[in-house]
Chains A and B, each alone.
Chain A
């Protein structure tokens, strides 16, 4: 059975509200977290097919969370999002196992499409 569960982690709460709304409308089961700890807690409770992580977070940033997530739940496909992309952060994400790297402000249609595709894999 196709699991269209998605975990969104970003310290910007308003963005979480937006993305929750958009993805729920798109058929996803959405869970959100504002920091890494919450995220890891949620991960323990259930498996997600997709995770969307913001890079710039505090105290644990998105890349560290990504590494941890990949360890705990290798089957989860991860989309990294950031307001400021650099070649460095991009390559780091890919190295740590991110499936996709998107820039803010997000093209919501693009996000939907990517999440959808990743959930299918």
Chain B
């Protein structure tokens, strides 16, 4: 609701009691007025009755004076006639004079000439008798005078002689004087004044005199007339109108004067003042409401102005000019608003400046910067990003940035990005952008979580750095490496083709073939001959030696073959303990023959390792045989296997082969793993240890040696526990 409406209701609410009060007052006034009018009526009729009494009293006295006539007393009726005529002429009210004897017989009536028949006594006998009996004057009720045929009434006075009534003197008065009498007492307009006789017959009435005269009053009215001398009452006339009447009885005549008026008439008279009051009240109300509305309008305007100022905050528009505020509170509010607005503007300025700073930063940053929401959808990219991607900031929004990715990298990078976002991990990847114009740029993209002041993640901030140069350099390097390699190969080929260089592999292959063939044949024959020769024969020893030496040749060739073209590593889960036991078994003969005590200690929960069993067995046997060679007069051979960790914490198995032989010279120690190095003669090509080292290296491990001349030698093999099969298999390395 508007302020105006509120005020309207306020004012109306305030006025309502006043209005009710005014109405009540008016009602009271109305009633008071009415009763005043009624009171007035009452008094009026009373006055009239009083006047009537005076009039009647006067007439009675006049008649009584006539009744004093000597002629009457002396019963000279004939002569009295003239006096009566003279009296009648003097008292204009009298229409006739009648003399009657106490029985009621009329003796004289001025209506008839002297001597003529006297009309009948018009007055009722009851009244007549009363006068005779009481000797007091009376006033009759209404009757029709036969002499005039007019409604009349009479005054009766007794004529006394010697205290007894000898005659009754009657003066008849017609109605018209009474009408005049009534009319001489004007009342309110519309008020009817009626004169009733003792019986309730209308003697005279103002307004429409002729018709009602002689009519009886309404019976109810008549009884009322008789009951009380004075009264005021409301009644309903024959015609249905509401009437207000007041009456008063004449004491002398018992006639009743009544005056009545329609209540409307009374009401009408009251309308004037009531209207005045009503009009005044309404006028006051209207005035008040108008003032309220005007006031409300002014206040509303001020408040609207305030609302406009407040609205200006949100729209950023300058506030419309405030209408001259005339309400203190609104003034205060307006100033508070203005203050607030200033502060807001200052804050806005600061914010804008900080945004500007950010914008400058990101715009001029030499890397592409992007911001994403929690889901990983882009909402901001800087200029550099756009330049590198060939997309506009709008195109990059949400998942539009993916278009910048090179089609070959897109799937991978998008998957990496999604995974990072889902798991809340930092993102880092290398990929290419492909611009619409075909430019390809290599980039290093990184992103980290962006947190708000409550330390909750609100999105991601990331950068893309151009690493095309780097990649190109890498590529160039790879290319040149490849080129070099090819060149080397070509060179090798050329050299080979020119016959100047032959790969060792080829040498050994053909050599092995050449050697093995005749060797095999010789060995074969030797064995065959041995099988047919008796051991006691002189040739047996020779044949045996031939067999042994050819076997030795075979071994050498095998070693060389092995070294030149090593076998691929065939990895499988290997139980180290089993391997050690098996290998010790293999050399048990040698150990026994040379009186060497062999012990093995293996950790109880030694893990299995991925290894080529055959190759590792070869290594171990090689080491054992070396140890045997080092202990020609016996000794001890200890084999240990335990778990260990590398410096970086990787689990390792360490196998140690410890002998108590004559050890390795300090000068020779660094050379023992070099191929073709043999510390002593007749012990093969010196390829055993190099081969062992290579095998161990192919297993991702290393071999170490510790030795003291004269004290013994310890070989330690370190093998990783989790050496994966893929990296070791198929390792065919070219010989050094």
Contact = CB atoms under 8 A, between A and B. Distances in A.
A21 B526 CA distance: 12
Contact of A56 (B513, B515, B528): B513
Given A105-B523, A105-B554, A18 B528 contact: yes
B513 A105 contact: no
A104 interface: yes
A104 B528 contact: no
A86 to B, nearest CB: 8
Contact of B525 (A12, A18, A83): A18
A18 B524 contact: yes
A104 B509 contact: no
Interface string A97-121: 0000000111010000000000000
Interface in A73-107: 82-84, 87, 104-106
Interface residues of B, number: 19
A87 B514 CA distance: 19
A15 interface: yes
A45 to B, nearest CB: 27
A42 interface: no
Contact of B518 (A14, A87, A106, A108): A14
B480 interface: no
B524 A83 contact: no
Interface string B515-551: 1111111011101100000000000000000000000
State the main secondary structure of chain B at its contact with A.
helix
B528 A84 contact: no
A61 to B, nearest CB: 13
A83 B517 contact: yes
Contacts of A15: 517, 520-521, 524
A15 B520 CA distance: 8
B445 to A, nearest CB: 45
Contact of A106 (B509, B514, B520): B520
Nearest to B551: A105
Residue of A15, A18, A19, A104 with most partner-chain B CB within 10 A: A104
B37 interface: no
Contacts of A18: 521, 524-525, 528
Contacts of B322: none
A15 B554 CA distance: 16
A67 interface: no
Smallest CB-CB A-B distances: 3 pairs: A105-B520, A83-B516, A83-B513
29 contacts: A12-B518, A12-B521, A14-B518, A14-B521, A15-B520, A15-B521, A18-B524, A18-B525, A18-B528, A21-B528, A82-B513, A83-B513, A83-B514, A83-B515, A83-B516, A83-B517, A83-B520, A84-B509, A84-B512, A87-B568, A104-B516, A104-B517, A105-B516, A105-B523, A105-B524, A106-B524, A108-B524, A108-B527, A108-B528
Interface of B: 509, 512-521, 523-525, 527-528, 554, 561, 568
